């Protein structure tokens, strides 16, 4: 039982990170019908901005909550700017062409970011400074939860509530929903769609950057290629929950995280090696596409060709 | 999709290399002019601390040789290539060093997987290769042009098993291995065999792959079996994080590892979580022997940091190669490889180096305790005959075989073997209190 609860906590922790990243995929898809493959790399950019901020501002010397807050918000702002720049210079000029063009551009942008970072900083992993004094608490007998895990839960839940509020209670959120229904009609209603699209990229990128900094507190190893697999899994999470659906992305992220951890924790008992942890996400993707292409919470497809 | 692009790029670069004809380079044949030696290692990838340290050691040795007048009057030039820690890249850069730069000998790699990828190229081209620190047994089995100056995994795995069973009195061990690394799999195999022979039990075995970001699933499964020790034969990048996450899960059992842990970055990643863990290694910087202290001081002056074992092995590999060229009197591959294989009682920083019939060095290993960013010397464990290590639980009883099968590491060479003042007790295990950090 202890072990089960512990594995559940482990799974929810990485699931929360997948959920934060999946939100960006799903929001961009919702308004542009574009799979932004560079989104996983924004998560990496967020972690690296946090790394450099921590060193530049002198927070790397010891744990400090203020430092963590500054680093977290700073990297979210920086990533939002990067996300907006990518949209402005890579996607907007080709928005009028076939959707495949934008998809391939997204892959190109992803490779560009990764290789720029490798070229500038090298592929060697770096150690993210510890900004949170690490401590573990025991629940239910023997299940341990660490401060960094609590931080991941707390910050991701807070950000998700904030996002929900932005989407449903603010003017810009209403505009976002309008754009996701129909871009052209929204434009005819006087909505500045370019701004809304830019804003959506900023929002999604900020969430991914938060994911990057939070992960780096939990696992201090960061490298320029860290966004590839994590990004792909978050994409699977978005598809699993129903791409374009915001609560679906959160649900999908948590489910992928738990599935992955259970494969590692219990797979050996039924003959599944732990190295299948990455395969399980993609097996889920295939099953979802075969049996429920709209995802768990997705509505019926409104395919616009 | 990214994978496809990546592999297309790789194929293109491989084709390019194969398309290049073997043309006269700076090191082309002859017995005059500088001796060109190729070094390849991971200078920018996931294990770049390894490659950089080894390169520093190799270059320092070459500088000392050149200052002393070179080898048989010829200066030494080191050409370095970066393999980014990838096996396929290692094969490519070694082909380049052989075909384009026409090096007379090769030094590298650290990670066994990368050496295994490059060794067949050197063997086919009849260019001798000395690996400073690849410990997987298969490395020198590639062919008679491949040798090494470090001990091998059957010994290193047995050392930790023996330490766990005899010194830590551990009964139950769990293992967490790097699934795709020949180094990690080799150590696991031999640790497991020795530990069970010594009466211990392996209660759980988990695996991860390089680049994983979360290890709590495996660690939770390990925790539920309550092991006395956890053996983690991996590389520093992953191990530091594993140690940290193990402490977050409140796992109190010490972790044991091998020479793959030895890196300054280990501490950046693991921090205090590493305190109380143990590793087996090639030498200890705290060793008071003058040979080692002279090396440590010279390395510090040159590179500004304390040399890890990989720097010391890189230094030794270069020195053994220079000594072999001197003895061979030529840089022709066939004669040079015979001279390397004939290395006997060479006094190196990491101990006295003698190559056995498989071209593996027969040397003792040290066990170090990790505490507050320092590696504290605990004890030295000697080989009892490399073919069948740790066969008897009554380890000291087998010590009589030691001096015959492993002359290079016998305690008759004071001053070079890591533990001093042991001439009186030729036991398999020699203990010494922790030396004070310098």
Torsion angle of the four alpha carbons A204, A205, A208, A213, in this order, in degrees rounded to the nearest 10: -140
Is the pLDDT at A22 greater than 60, yes or no? yes
| pLDDT score, position A303 | 45
Domains and CATH numbers, chain B: 2-151+296-353 (3.40.50.2300), 152-281+364-438 (3.40.50.2300)
Q: Which of B52, B223, B248 to mutate to test the interface with A (most CBs of A within 10 A)?
A: B248
Q: Min CA distance, A94 vs chain B (Å)?
A: 21
Among B2, B6, B48, B216, the strongest candidate for a mutation testing the A interface, having the largest count of A CBs within 10 A, is B216
Share of chain A above pLDDT 70, in %: 97
**A41: CATH:** 1.10.3470
Contacts of residue A97, Cβ cutoff 8 Å, sequence gap at least 6: none
Q: Do A265 and B218 touch (CB under 8 A)?
A: yes
| Cβ-contact B318, B295 below 8 angstroms | no
Mean pLDDT across B88-97: 93
Cα B60 to Cα B64: distance, rounded to the nearest angstrom: 6
Residue appearing with tokens 């990496």: A44
Q: What is the mean pLDDT of the segment spanning B377-381?
A: 87
A124 located within any domain: yes
User: Mean pLDDT across the stretch B331-340?
Assistant: 90
Taken in order B45, B48, B50, B54, the sign of the CA dihedral is positive
Q: Minimal Cα–Cα distance from B64 to chain A, Å?
A: 30
CA dihedral A215, A216, A218, A223 (to 10 degrees): 90
Indicate the burial class of A284 (C-beta count within 10 angstroms; 0-12, 13-18, 19 or more).
buried
Biggest alpha carbon distance in chain A? 60
**Is a pLDDT exceeding 50 seen at residue A25?**
yes
pTM: 0.77
DSSP labels for A184-210?
Answer: HHHHHTT--HHHHHHHHHHHHHHHHHH
Domain that holds residue A49: 2-134+145-291
CA dist., res. B94 & res. B101, Å (int): 10
Look at residue A252 in the predicted model and tell me its pLDDT.
94
As a whole number of angstroms, the distance between CA B375 and CA B234 comes to 17
Position B23 scores a pLDDT of 42
Average pLDDT, chain B: 81
CA distances from residue A234 to A14, A237, A256, A280, B143 in whole angstroms, order as listed:
10, 5, 8, 13, 46
CB < 8 Å from A in window 26-45 of B: 44-45
Is the model's pLDDT at A297 over the cut of 90? no
> What's the whole-number mean pLDDT along residues A88-106?
90
Instruction: Indicate if the pLDDT at residue A231 is higher than 60.
Output: yes
Would residue A304 count as lying in a domain?
A: no
CA distances from B45 to A58, A233, B112, B149 (A): 27, 24, 15, 24
Of A130-134, A150-154, B16-20, minimum mean pLDDT range: B16-20
pLDDT higher at B206 or B27: B206
Query: Is residue A140 assigned to a domain?
Result: no
- In chain A, which among 114-143 make CB contacts under 8 A with chain B? 122-127, 130, 134, 136, 138, 142
Which pLDDT score is estimated for B47? 84
More confident residue, B196 or A137: B196
Give a yes or no: residue A220 inside a domain.
yes
Contact A221 B213 (CB under 8 A): yes
Q: Which among A2, A122, A264 is the nearest to B217, CB-wise?
A: A264
On whether residue A300 sits in a domain, the answer given is no
Tell me, yes or no, whether A164 lies in a domain. yes
**pLDDT at residue B16 in the model:** 54
Task: Find the Cα–Cα–Cα–Cα dihedral B333, B336, B341, B347, rounded to 10°.
Answer: -140
pLDDT at B6: 62
| Chain B residues within 8 A of A277 when measuring between CB atoms | 212, 217
- The three-state secondary structure class of B148 is strand
With a cut of 0.85, is the ipTM above it?
Answer: no
The rounded distance, in Å, linking the Cα atoms of A115 and A107 is 12
DSSP category for residue B348: E
Structure tokens at B367: 């066990």
B241 → closest Cβ in A6, A220, A262 = A220
Structural domain contains residue A189:
yes
Percent of chain B exceeding pLDDT 70 equals 80
Residue A166 has pLDDT above 90, yes or no: yes
Query: pLDDT band at residue B5, thresholds of 50, 70 and 90?
Result: low
Contact with chain B for residue A268, Cβ under 8 A: yes
Chain A interface mutation, best of B9, B221, B236, B272, highest count of A Cβ atoms under 10 Å:
B221
Nearest to A70 by CA among A53, A55, A46: A53
Residue A16 lies in a domain: yes
| 8 Å CB contact of B213 and A107 | no
Q: Does B239 have pLDDT greater than 80? A: yes
pLDDT at B405 over 80: no
Chain B residue nearest residue A143, CA to CA? B249
The number of domains in chain A is 1
Q: Cα(A49)–Cα(B31) distance, rounded to whole angstroms?
A: 54
pLDDT class of A20 with cuts at 50, 70, 90 = very high
Residue A299 has pLDDT above 70, yes or no: no
- Which tokens sit at B435? 């030396």
At B424 the pLDDT is 34
């Amino acid at each position: 039982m202890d072990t089960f609860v512990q594995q559940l906590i482990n799974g929810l922790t990485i699931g929360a990170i997948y959920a934060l990243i999946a939100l960006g995929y799903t929001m961009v898809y919702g308004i542009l019908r574009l799979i932004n493959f560079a989104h996983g790399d924004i998560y990496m950019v967020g972690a690296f901005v946090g790394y450099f901020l921590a060193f530049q501002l002198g927070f790397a010397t010891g744990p400090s909550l203020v430092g963590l807050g500054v680093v977290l918000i700073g990297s979210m702002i920086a990533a939002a700017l990067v996300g907006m720049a990518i949209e402005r210079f890579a996607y907007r000029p080709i928005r009028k062409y076939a959707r495949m063009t934008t998809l391939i551009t997204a892959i190109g942008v992803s490779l560009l970011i990764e290789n720029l970072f490798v070229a500038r900083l090298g592929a060697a992993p770096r150690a993210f400074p510890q900004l949170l004094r690490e401590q573990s608490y025991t629940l239910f007998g023997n299940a341990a939860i660490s401060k960094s895990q609590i931080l991941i839960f707390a910050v991701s839940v807070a950000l998700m509530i904030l996002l929900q509020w932005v989407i449903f209670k603010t003017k810009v959120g209403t505009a976002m929903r309008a754009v996701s229904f129909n871009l052209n009609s929204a434009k005819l209603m006087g909505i500045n769609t370019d701004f809304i699209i830019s804003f959506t990229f900023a929002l999604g990128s900020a969430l991914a950057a938060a994911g990057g900094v939070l992960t780096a507190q939990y696992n201090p190893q960061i490298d320029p290629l860290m966004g590839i697999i994590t990004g792909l899994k978050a994409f699977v999470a978005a598809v699993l929950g129903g791409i374009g659906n915001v609560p679906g992305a959160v649900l999908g992220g948590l489910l992928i995280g738990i599935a992955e951890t259970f494969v590692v924790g219990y797979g050996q008992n039924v003959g599944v090696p732990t190295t299948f942890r990455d395969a399980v996400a993609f097996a889920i993707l295939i099953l979802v596409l075969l049996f429920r292409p709209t995802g768990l919470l997705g509505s019926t497809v409104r395919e616009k060709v | 999709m990214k994978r496809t692009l990546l592999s297309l790029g790789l194929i293109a670069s491989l084709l390019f290399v194969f398309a290049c004809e073997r043309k006269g380079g700076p090191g082309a044949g002859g017995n005059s002019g500088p001796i060109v030696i190729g070094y390849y290692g991971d200078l920018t990838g996931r294990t770049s601390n390894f490659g950089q340290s080894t390169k520093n050691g190799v270059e320092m040795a070459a500088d000392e040789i050149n200052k002393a007048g070179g080898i048989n009057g010829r200066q030494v030039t080191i050409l370095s290539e970066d393999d980014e820690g990838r096996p396929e890249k290692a094969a490519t850069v070694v082909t380049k060093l052989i075909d384009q730069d026409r090096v007379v000998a090769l030094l590298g790699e650290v990670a066994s997987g990368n050496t295994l990828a490059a060794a067949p190229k050197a063997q086919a081209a009849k260019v001798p290769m000395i690996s400073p620190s690849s410990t997987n047994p298969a490395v020198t089995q590639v062919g008679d042009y491949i040798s090494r100056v470090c001990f091998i995994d059957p010994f290193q795995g047995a050392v930790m098993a023996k330490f766990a069973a005899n010194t830590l009195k551990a009964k139950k061990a769990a293992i967490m291995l790097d699934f795709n690394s020949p180094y990690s799999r080799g150590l696991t195999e031999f640790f497991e065999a020795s530990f069970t022979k010594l009466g211990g039990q392996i209660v759980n075995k988990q695996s991860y792959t390089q680049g994983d970001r979360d290890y709590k699933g495996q660690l939770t499964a390990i925790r539920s079996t309550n092991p006395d020790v956890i053996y983690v034969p991996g590389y520093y990048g992953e191990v530091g994080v594993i140690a940290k996450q193990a402490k977050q899960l409140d796992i109190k059992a010490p972790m044991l590892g091998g020479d793959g842990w030895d890196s300054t970055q280990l501490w950046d990643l693991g921090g205090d979580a590493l305190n109380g863990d143990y590793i087996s290694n090639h030498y200890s910087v705290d060793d008071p022997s003058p040979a080692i202290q002279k090396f440590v001081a010279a390395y510090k002056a040159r590179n500004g940091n304390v040399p890890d074992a990989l720097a010391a092995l890189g230094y030794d590999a270069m020195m053994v190669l220079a000594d072999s060229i001197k003895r061979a009197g030529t840089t022709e591959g066939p004669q040079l490889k015979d001279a390397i294989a004939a290395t006997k009682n060479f006094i190196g920083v990491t101990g006295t180096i003698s190559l056995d019939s498989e071209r593996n060095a027969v040397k003792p290993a040290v066990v170090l305790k990790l505490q507050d960013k320092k590696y504290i010397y605990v004890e030295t464990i000697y080989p009892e005959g490399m073919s069948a290590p740790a066969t008897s639980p009554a380890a000291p009883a087998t010590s009589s075989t030691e001096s015959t099968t492993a002359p290079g590491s016998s305690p008759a060479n004071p001053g070079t073997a890591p533990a001093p003042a042991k001439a009186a007790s030729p036991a398999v295990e020699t203990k010494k209190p922790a030396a004070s950090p310098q």
